[in-house]
Structure 1
Amino acid sequence: MARAIAIILARIIFSFIFFMAAGFKFAGIGTTADYIAAAGFPMATFLAWIAAFFEIALALAFITGAFFTEASLLAGIYVIFLAFAFHGPSHWQQSQAEIGFFIDHFTFLAGLLFAAVHGPEKWALRHSLLR
């Protein structure tokens, strides 16, 4: 029972993080687009909207358990992309805090990989493309 509760809490945390990230993007899509453009990406506003909706999809997958393994793997790829694109070595001269932000993304990746391997546990919609 403790295992199931721990996994459900982890799913809630993952979901909350992505809902929160999407919420910040929706609340300030222009600010998000400016941040994306500053990193050198074209079509920044379009990418900001895509990121916000992608984060909503991830959050829904984590909270429901549907496509959980796929969501965990996609979220891991996304998190590492974000680490390199927005906090990677080219940003370290500007601020030492960027190194910490960069490393934090790998901690998040570790949790996502663990989740991908162990699955959503009980009380989950068990839809998957990989099984």
Structure 2
Amino acid sequence: MTRAIAVIVARIIFSFIFFMAAGFKFADMGATSTYIASAGFPMAGFLAWVAAFFEMALALALITGVFFTEASLLAGTYVVFLAFAFHGPSRWTDNQAEFGFFIDHFSFLAGLLFAAVHGPEKWAIRRSLVRL
């Protein structure tokens, strides 16, 4: 029972992080677009909306357990992309805190990989295309 509780708490934390990230994007899509453009990406407005809806989908998958393994792997890939795109080595010289933000993404990746391998445990709607 302790294992199941730990897993559901982890799922709640993962999902809330993505719900919050999407919420901030939806709350100020202009600021999100500006930040994306500052990293050199074209079509920043479109990408901001895609990111917000993608994060909502990840949050829903992680909290419900639907396509949990796939969502965990996609989230891990996304987190690594964000680390390099927005906190990568080119930003470290101007702001040493960016290195910390970069490293934090890999801690998050470790948790997502662990989740992908071990699955959603109890209290999940289990649908999956991949079994690790």
TM-score range, shorter chain: over 0.9
User: Alpha-carbon deviation of 1:105?
Assistant: 0.1
Q: How many angstroms apart in 2 are the aligned matches of 1:5 and 1:118?
A: 14
Q: CA deviation at 1:94?
A: 1.0
Partner of 2:58: 58
| Alpha-carbon distance between aligned partners in 1 of 2:117 and 2:31, rounded to the nearest angstrom | 35
Residue in 1 that maps onto 2:77? 77
Q: Give the C-alpha shift of residue 50 in structure 1.
A: 0.1
Q: TM-score, normalised by structure 1?
A: 0.99
Q: In the aligned structure 1, how far is the partner of 2:57 from the partner of 2:115? A: 17
2:128 aligned with 1:128, yes or no? Answer: yes
**Total equivalences in the alignment:** 131
Q: Does 1:36 align with 2:36?
A: yes
The aligned amino acid for 2:21 is A
Shift of residue 129 of structure 1?
Answer: 1.2
Q: State the Cα deviation string for residues 55-93 of structure 1 (Å, max 9, x = none).
A: 000000011000000000000000000000000000001
What per-residue deviation string (whole Å, max 9, x for no partner) do you get for residues 79-120 of structure 1? 000000000000001100000000000000000000000000
Counterpart amino acid of residue 28 in structure 1: D
Q: Which runs of 5+ in 1 are unaligned?
A: none
Runs of 4+ in structure 1 displaced over 4 angstroms? none
Q: Which runs of 5+ in 2 are unaligned?
A: none
Partner-residue secondary structure (3-state), 1:128: coil
Q: What is the deviation of 1:130?
A: 1.2
Cα separation, 1, equivalents of 2:52 and 2:124 = 24
The share of aligned pairs that are identical, in percent, is: 81
